Amino acid sequence: MSRTLPRFYCDDLASGILTESESAHAVKTMRLTVGSELELLDGKGIRLRAEIAGITNHCVQFIEIHRTHFERSGPALHIAISPPKSIDRFLFFVEKATELGITSITPLISQHSERSKLNVEKIRKTITASLKQSGNPFLPQLKDSLSFVDLVKNSRLPSARFIAHCREDGQKQALSALLQKLPELVVIIGPEGDFTQEEINLALENKFTPVSLSENVLRTETAGIAVCSIVLSTYSAL
């Protein structure tokens, strides 16, 4: 196995220091010391190999050894999703979506939503942990929760818009068949009780294409992970 360096998140590489919590993780958990090598991700496409130069006021100071710039290889995938009742299931989606390289996540409040309040801090921690674990150079953006109406009527959405729902309407196509080489797309995913017919109609009026992901009924978080897999793996460059 190739040796992998312990990885940390540092959104301001120019500062030359890690945050207190990342420093604590480096020093207390990973037992790194002055001279140890580590890898830093800024979440904006830069991966740094660095060395610990000092530890002052509980913060790790580092010096750069080598810098790698990444470009996004796939499309920018935005998912707006109704968080399920179980926060663990939502965090699981967030973790997987980050591993797979999602661009943004918007919690969606729709008529059958089972949860409108979210622990944003916990979600951000899950994103950062998954970023470090997977080595994804691009930090997904967690957007503010939006109502279904505000989301679908937003004129700044990308033109490739999809709505995944479970109703049988004879209009749905497989998402995988519609992808081609889209540079950016948004997919909205409903709650366990699905979107209402009224919501689906409003989405269609706002140029959303109805898509299906499976013949079975997928849980919300499964639908979210499936969309990430289908969209982002199709484009993965090697």
CB atoms under 10 Å from CB of 158, counted, come to 14
Q: Is 99 in the site for a second copy (CB under 8 A)?
A: yes
Of 48-56, 113-121, 147-155, 215-223, the segment contacting a second copy by CB under 8 A is 215-223
How far apart, in whole angstroms, are the C-alpha atoms of residue 158 and residue 174?
19
Which phi-psi region, left, alpha or beta, contains residue 22 (left: φ > 0; alpha: ψ -120 to 50)? alpha
Q: Is 104 in the site for a second copy (CB under 8 A)?
A: no
Of the candidates 64, 42, 207, 67, the residue with the CA atom closest to the CA atom of residue 135: 42
Which of 60/83 has CB closer to a second copy? 83
Q: Is 76 in the site for a second copy (CB under 8 A)?
A: no
Q: Is 212 in the site for a second copy (CB under 8 A)?
A: yes
List, in order, residues 6 or more apart from 137 with CB less than 8 Å away.
41, 43, 44, 45, 46, 47, 70
Of 15-23, 24-32, 77-85, 88-96, the segment contacting a second copy by CB under 8 A is 88-96
Which phi-psi region, left, alpha or beta, contains residue 228 (left: φ > 0; alpha: ψ -120 to 50)? alpha
Q: Which of 58, 67, 135, 184 binds a second copy (CB under 8 A)?
A: 135
Q: Where does this chain bind a second copy (CB under 8 A)?
A: 1-2, 73, 92, 95-96, 99-101, 112, 133-136, 167, 172-176, 193-194, 196, 212-219, 222, 225-226, 228-230, 232-234, 236-238
